[in-house]
Amino acid sequence: MKKQEILKFYQAYRLYIFPLVVAFSSLILIIFVIYPQTVKLISDQQVAKETESKSTLLEVKAQELEEYDSADLKQKVDIALGAYPADKDFISAMGILQDIIAKSGFNVVAMSLGTSLATPNAQGYNLKVEIVGLQTLLLTLLSNIENSPRLMRISNIQAIGGKDSQATAISFNIDVLYAAAPEGFGSVDSPLPSLSEKDEEIIIKLARTSSTFGPAQVSVSPGPRGKANPFE
């Protein structure tokens, strides 16, 4: 009885009821499916693009890292650290300096720690060197020091003696430079620095000079230090 009444009511007003049902269904579909899915699609499109580019970037980086010969890289790092170490290396620097002075034709009279650093914006320590030799060879010595396998800068020069004197007393101060290692070595997604031709040239130059003036770093064997029991 009720069903028949509903059918009769529908038949009477179907011209209005049907469009209303269609509109309501469409609205439900739009509100609950089409709109949220489209919004998510657009926002995820950006995420997908970013993830894709990051993935490509990291794949290229991983490939580049794999291509590096770690042994060769370690050797280059050793050369670079020998020239510009991360901390004070008095013994090594004095050894190299002595070698350079001797090979440049001078005799070392005294070598001591100097006072302040003259090189601006640099970290380092100062060495005061007193030598004896021909003043005509001084230019070669200065050039050898500033092109040595250890970063050194002349901060002052004093030469006493005649131009053609056989033994001129020369004293000079040298800034021996060092710098602490960078705090971070790069995150996973940080860009990878590449070695340019100039960098390779510097390494070759350093390697060549270190073979002329001895090894840049004095290797210290990690043996036992001091006495086990100092009261014995």
Residue 164 near another protein by CB under 8 A: yes
Report d(CA 119, CA 124) in Å as an integer: 9
Q: By rule CB under 8 A, what count of residues binds another protein? A: 79
Q: Report how far residue 34's alpha carbon sits from residue 217's, in angstroms, rounded to the nearest whole number.
A: 70
Closest CA to 93 of 171, 132, 149, 143: 149
Does 77 bind another protein (CB under 8 A)? Our answer is: yes
Q: Say if CB 117 and CB 155 are below 8 A apart.
A: yes
Residue with tokens 């580019």: 53
If one asks whether residue 206 binds another protein (CB under 8 A), the answer comes out as yes
Interaction of residue 166 with another protein, rule CB under 8 A: no
User: Looking at 142, 207, 215, 218, which residue binds another protein (CB under 8 A)?
Assistant: 142
Does 139 engage in binding with another protein (CB under 8 A)?
Answer: yes
Minimum CB separation from another protein for residue 128, in Å?
A: 13
> Which is nearer to another protein, 30 or 109 (by Cβ)?
30
Rule CB under 8 A: choose which of 31, 192, 204, 211 binds another protein: 192
71 binds another protein, rule: CB under 8 A: no
Q: Are 131 and 98 in contact (CB under 8 A)?
A: no
The neighbour count for residue 140, using CB atoms within 10 Å, is: 14
